[in-house]
Structure formats: structure tokens, C-alpha cells
Structure 1
Amino acid sequence: MTIFGAIGIASTGLTVHRKWLDAVSDNLANVSTVRGTGEDAFRQKYVVAQEIQGGGGVQVAATVEGSAEGRLVYEPDHPLADEQGYVRYPDIDMSSQMTQLIMAQRGYQANAAVVDRAKETYAAALQIGR
């Protein structure tokens, strides 16, 4: 693998981790989104990654959405409550999302460090030739 190959592969990892961060932040932003019981709840997003054939890194294969069923919460004073007093919230686990946020952030940082080290190695190689 060449130095430029390392940068290319790490950049694919940066892209996947950025999309994962985007999905998790969207989930966290909508954790308290309320809908009426006749509507679908906010659908949690999941990023599915896959290897690029030939050892060329990783790519986003799909973004999958979770269940639209959500969870019913008894809030009779809410303006969207039905006759029984229920509203629909998304079924998003905050602690799971925070864990995924940390993993995606660390993966992004690791790939950024690979790019930086490869650039430093390339610059050092140019200095040797002088």
C-alpha cells in the first residue's frame, strides 16, 4: 500500500463515521419528538457500512430506519393526546445513542489521525530527497 492509498482508505472511514455521527445526532435531536397516536413516531436511523471490494476501504451500504411504532406515553394534558390521553414518542434509547456517538467520534478521530500521519510521512520522505 502506498502513502496515498492509506490516505484514500482513511478518507473512506472518515466519510462513514461522519454519516454515522449525522444519523446519531439526528436521533438524539428527535428523542423527544411527540406525535399523535394516529401518526408514525420519528424513525430512528441506523447506518450500515460495508467493505469496498478489493481492500479499498469502507462505504455506507444503506441508512436503515427503525420502527415507526414508537412508544405510547400517557400525557392527558398534551395538545396531541388522543381520547385516552396517550401520545406517541420515538423508541430511542438515549444511553445507546450516546454510546454510538462516542464510538463514531472516536472512529472519526482515528481515521483523521491516520491521514495526518500519512501526510507527515510523505513530507518526511520529500525532505530525504533534498
Structure 2
Amino acid sequence: MTGIFNAIDSAASGVTVDRKWMDAVSDNISNINTARRTSENAFQARYVVAQAVDYGSGAGGVQVGGIALGDAQGRVVSDPDNPLADADGNVRMPDIDLGSEMTQLIMAQRGYQANLKVVEAAQESYQGAISVGRGV
């Protein structure tokens, strides 16, 4: 039975990391057009850093090891109609690539779905073992 519980624990930890990954990507996408004054830092993209729990033991799953931030310099863009524009008509925008973020979102969603399937399969196995134990 411990194998089933290890599978549930590992997959559940993966679900948590994937959810945080999707949250970070969603935040990045929603701030892709956030303009700031050129004297300020650009919005910094968030990147989830995953790490193994008890690496090498075969148990433990994964956890969020931290959040890495993107470049605060961003990119300077000409937008003279923006109320935040400097005297030269420039604003600072985040250096976020929408294509890359969408790819990250798809990968996080697929990981989330796969981990949920593992949890469901392990729960079904556990329920089957209980039924056998009861003589049903």
C-alpha cells in the first residue's frame, strides 16, 4: 500500500507545483502590456523554480524551490501618447515573450492534468484494494 500512497503524494506535489506555475504564467501574460516610467523598473516576469524533495530516494515528489524574476530593465518603447511617457515619449515595458509564455502555460496545464490522472488512478487502486480486503 505504501506504493499507492507514495504515488498520490508525489502526484499531489506535482499538482501544486503545476498550479503555481500556471499562476505565474498567467500573471506574466496579464502584465505583458504594463507600461512604467523609464525611471522605474519594468514589470518582472515570475518563473517558478521546481526542485525535487529528497532527491534520489524515489519518494517525496517535487516542491517550489523559489521564484526567479525576469529582467527589471525590460525594454524601452516609444509611446508618446502614454501618460507615463518621458520627455522623449518613451515608456519601459516588460521583456516578456507571449509565445514563450503560452508554451509554458500549455506545459504546466499538461503536467497538471497528468498528475491529476495519477492521483485518480492511485485512488481507484486503493479503493479496489479496500474492496478486496472486505471480501466484496
Give the ranges of 4+ consecutive aligned residues of structure 1 lying more than 6 Å apart after TM superposition: none
State the match for 1:24 in structure 2.
25
The within-5 A match list for 1:1-130 is 2-53=3-54, 54-55=57-58, 56-129=60-133, 130=135
Q: Deviations over 1:102-127 (max 9, x none)?
A: 00000000000000000011111122
Query: 114-123 vs 50-59, which deviates more?
Result: 50-59
Normalised by the size of structure 1, how large is the TM-score? 0.96
How far, CA to CA, are the matches of 2:114 and 2:23 in structure 1? 17
Q: Deviations over 1:44-75 (max 9, x none)?
A: 01111111113311111110101100111111
How many residue pairs get aligned? The number is: 130
How far, CA to CA, are the matches of 1:126 and 1:79 in structure 2? 65
Q: CA RMSD in A?
A: 0.9
Secondary structure at the counterpart of residue 28 of structure 2: helix
Normalised by the size of structure 2, how large is the TM-score? 0.92
Unaligned runs of 5+ in 2: none
2:72 corresponds to which letter in structure 1?
A: A
